[in-house]
Amino acid sequence: MKFLRDLRSVLNLTVLVAGLGYFVDLFDITLFGVVRVASLKDIGITDPTEILTKGVFIYNAQMVGMMVGGMLWGVLADKRGRLSVMFGSILLYSFANLANAFAWDVTTYALCRFLGGVGLAGELGAAITLVAESLPKEKRGLGTTIVATLGMLGIVAAALVGQHMTWKVAYITGGVMGIALLFARFKVSESELFSKKTDPSRANPFLLLQGGRFLKYICCILIGVPIYFTTGILFTFAPELTAGLGVTGTVTAGNAILYGSIGLTLGDLLAGVFSQALKSRKRAVGLNLVAGLCLMLLYVLVPGLTSTGVYVLCFFLGISVGYWAVLVTMAAEQFGTNIRGTVATTVPNFVRGSAAIAASGVAWLKGSQGFTMGNAALLVGSLCFGLALLALLKLEETFHRDLDYEETATSPAALPHSQPHSSSRS
């Protein structure tokens, strides 16, 4: 089959190392959601209400760290190169995870997750940019799909490790894996598209504010928000959410994340394949968003679910929002080489950071406004999916776009597909 031949042709060292890096990245990001209850109890937080509020605080610290790190690593990716970011970020988040195993209270726990978030912010964007710039346009979607699929297995691993090891050993495991991966990166080469560019506007993030690019940038972020609403609210806080929905049986965050992450892994693979088959990033993402919205409504509105039914829904929700690779690839394709690293690194991290806003919104609606947890999640989730669908309509299709171009202060925001290569096109 042609598809299998194409798949084998993109399985090079750069793609595999980038995929393993994303594996460790998602392992570390997911770990707190799995060990949240056990680790907080171990440091002295036993009241169920405090476990929720302190958990949201620590989770938000990690997500804010990722937003801060996204801008830092993004600018460095365009100024110093994609590989420099992949080395620097992995060192920071590996040592942050090792330190996290020795946190003794909520403050130190949150500080470690913040620093870990800053480090984790550089992994995905640099990896996707490097892979996208290293492969021909007809196959780069397959390369980024492999990266994302390997990465999603990190969520599955975190769910398994977090439930079968102590929380301290789980964090140490994440740190050790990161340091081990560092040595594999020495054999990977820098992107040729980046290496040959000498434009003085390289690493100028203010280009994003000019020529209509900012609207494209915001749209890319909004399209990804439902992914982290689903993982950050429907999976991570599944015990609190289902407690008010009359679910029969006990629902644990670890199992919700486990089954949801298996769905995410399969979904990322399917979204990438559909994108290639449809020759369209937009149509593939649109189908995922509609399916995700429908499943979210089932999750919070259908009465009489069992814990098994919730896990099945988490699995299919994971499939529906498993368009992460297509999203980040589409975001990278929207912009020129001199700010592509900034975009590809900041977009996923602002998407991840949006989970903090979603979690805070749900907590506010539940606490101050008297909403049930289910109704609060329904309102916030509907807003996330609705804005994502509107943003998708605003973006251009980029499946066939040539990435060998740069942005300038005077170039227009839109790139006609028929336009020949020029160093000033956008």
Q: 381 or 8: whose pLDDT is higher?
A: 381
Residue 11: pLDDT above 80?
A: no
The tokens for 203 are 């690493």
Q: What is the mean pLDDT of the chain?
A: 80
| pLDDT score at 421 | 40
Q: How far apart are CA 292 and CA 383, in angstroms?
A: 13
Q: Tens of pLDDT along 23-82?
A: 888 888 788 877 887 888 888 888 877 887 788 888 888 878 887 887 787 777 777 666
| pLDDT score at 416 | 40
Superfamily of domain 9-187+209-394: MFS general substrate transporter like domains (1.20.1250.20)
Give the whole-number percent of the chain exceeding pLDDT 70.
84
| pLDDT score at 196 | 61
**pTM of this structure:** 0.73
Q: Tens of pLDDT along 220-264?
A: 999 999 998 998 889 888 888 888 777 888 888 878 888 988 898
Which residues does 116 contact at the CB level (< 8 Å), separation at least 6?
Answer: 28, 62, 65, 92, 93, 96, 97, 100
Which residues does 78 contact at the CB level (< 8 Å), separation at least 6?
Answer: 194, 202, 203, 338, 339, 340, 341, 342
Q: 322 or 34: whose pLDDT is higher?
A: 322
| pLDDT score at 420 | 38
Residue 359: pLDDT above 70?
A: yes
Q: 318 or 136: whose pLDDT is higher?
A: 318
Identify whether the C-beta of residue 281 lies closer than 8 Å to the C-beta of residue 310. Answer: no
Q: Where do the structural domains in the chain lie, given as residue ranges? A: 9-187+209-394
Confidence of residue 336 (pLDDT cuts 50, 70, 90): confident
pLDDT average, residue stretch 255-282: 85
